[in-house]
């Protein structure tokens, strides 16, 4: 985990080789990214294939176990309703798995020459490998920066960071003559956050009219850093531990230093409760098995 463009390369290759492709997303309840979210990502990323979610936990089938290929083959046969004739993977385990499934193994770019990334590389440094993260997955790793009452600064920081800024939807209405109710505007603002979270590069800048606007943010879009004239109080929608910078201190280098993830862990989406005033402090996450491989019916 997470899915990346290398997985999409494998899926597209496999689809061109078969009549119907099954993609297995195998998850554990202890994993940091919820299995249902990974399953939903792959369903969106591979709409022309059948994505199956295997939640069965097989303690004996860890990667180093000689029994793992046989145990996983048994679980896969139970999940896939058709005969499996080919197994596609970039990992070496694909050969033994295909043998136990009595299927043909077709490897793809095991050295990752074409798309030089792995899920572990993304977990360790998502910013460095951002271009390999598909749009549906980006919100999980995204940092959110709220700028209070200063649209010009929000635009400048977004440009300097090479990303986009979510401005109040009401700004568009003034230029089009369209009229929306208050609830429709709130929904449009939420939709703007959802859409731009997929387009943003590492950081999404939130252009908010005032401190009060922080309380209107959806739970999944709370900021990891706030910039304004005075520190916001500990009100609903934000944590007292969220870093704060005064407008005069908000240089792009300082913002990057606060927001950049330091290692192979991240906060849950929108959760900045463990952040300190001048740096991001994250607990290291456990290592994870790689993302799913593709298996299919001929």
Q: What is the average pLDDT across 209-235?
A: 87
Tens of pLDDT, residues 131-177: 999 999 999 999 999 999 999 999 999 999 999 999 998 887 767 77
Q: 139 to each of 144, 196, 275, how far by Cα in Å? A: 10, 9, 18
Query: Tokens 């208050």, residue?
Result: 182
What is this structure's pTM? 0.80
Percent of the chain with pLDDT over 70: 84
What is the per-residue burial (b if ≥16 Cβ within 10 Å, else e) of 253-262? Answer: eebeebbbbe
What beta strand segments (E) does the chain contain?
20-26, 50-54, 86-89, 104-107, 143-148, 164-166, 203-208, 225-228, 244-246, 294-297
Alpha helices in 106-181 (DSSP H): 119-124, 138-141, 151-161, 170-176
Residue 254 zone, left/alpha/beta (φ > 0; ψ -120 to 50; rest): alpha
Confidence of residue 8 (pLDDT cuts 50, 70, 90): very high
pLDDT of residue 238: 56
Q: With 60 as the cut, is the pLDDT of residue 200 above it?
A: yes
Of these ranges, 64-68, 113-117, 196-200, the one predicted with the greatest mean pLDDT is: 196-200
Tens of pLDDT, residues 95-126: 999 999 999 999 998 888 889 998 889 988 99
pLDDT of residue 295: 46
Looking at residue 5, the DSSP 8-state letter turns out to be H
Tens of pLDDT, residues 243-281: 999 999 999 999 999 999 865 444 344 333 333 333 322
């Amino acid at each position: 985990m997470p899915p990346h463009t290398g997985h999409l390369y494998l899926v597209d290759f496999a689809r061109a080789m078969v009549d119907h492709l099954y993609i297995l997303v195998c998850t554990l309840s202890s994993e940091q990214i919820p299995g249902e979210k990974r399953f939903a990502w792959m369903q969106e990323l591979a709409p022309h294939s059948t994505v199956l979610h295997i939640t069965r936990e097989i303690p004996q089938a860890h990667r180093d176990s000689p029994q793992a290929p046989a145990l996983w083959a048994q679980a896969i046969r139970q999940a896939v309703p058709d005969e499996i004739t080919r197994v596609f993977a970039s990992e070496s385990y694909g050969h033994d798995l295909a043998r136990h499934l009595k299927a043909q193994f077709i490897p793809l770019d095991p050295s990752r020459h074409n798309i030089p990334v792995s899920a572990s590389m993304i977990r360790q440094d998502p910013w460095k490998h951002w271009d390999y993260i598909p749009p549906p997955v980006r919100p999980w790793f995204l940092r959110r920066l709220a700028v209070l009452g200063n649209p010009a600064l929000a635009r400048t920081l977004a440009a300097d960071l090479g990303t986009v800024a979510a401005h109040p939807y009401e700004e568009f209405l003034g230029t089009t003559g369209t009229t929306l109710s208050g609830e429709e505007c709130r929904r449009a603002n939420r939709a703007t956050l959802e859409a731009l979270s997929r387009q943003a590069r590492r950081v999404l800048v939130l252009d908010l009219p005032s401190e009060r606007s922080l309380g209107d943010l959806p739970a999944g879009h709370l900021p990891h850093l706030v910039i304004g004239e005075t520190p916001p109080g500990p009100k609903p929608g934000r944590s007292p531990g969220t870093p704060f910078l005064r407008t005069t201190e908000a240089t792009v280098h300082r913002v990057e230093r606060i927001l950049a993830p330091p290692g192979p862990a991240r906060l849950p989406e929108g959760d900045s409760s463990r952040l300190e005033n001048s740096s991001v402090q994250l607990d290291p996450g456990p290592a994870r098995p790689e993302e799913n491989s593709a298996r299919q019916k001929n």
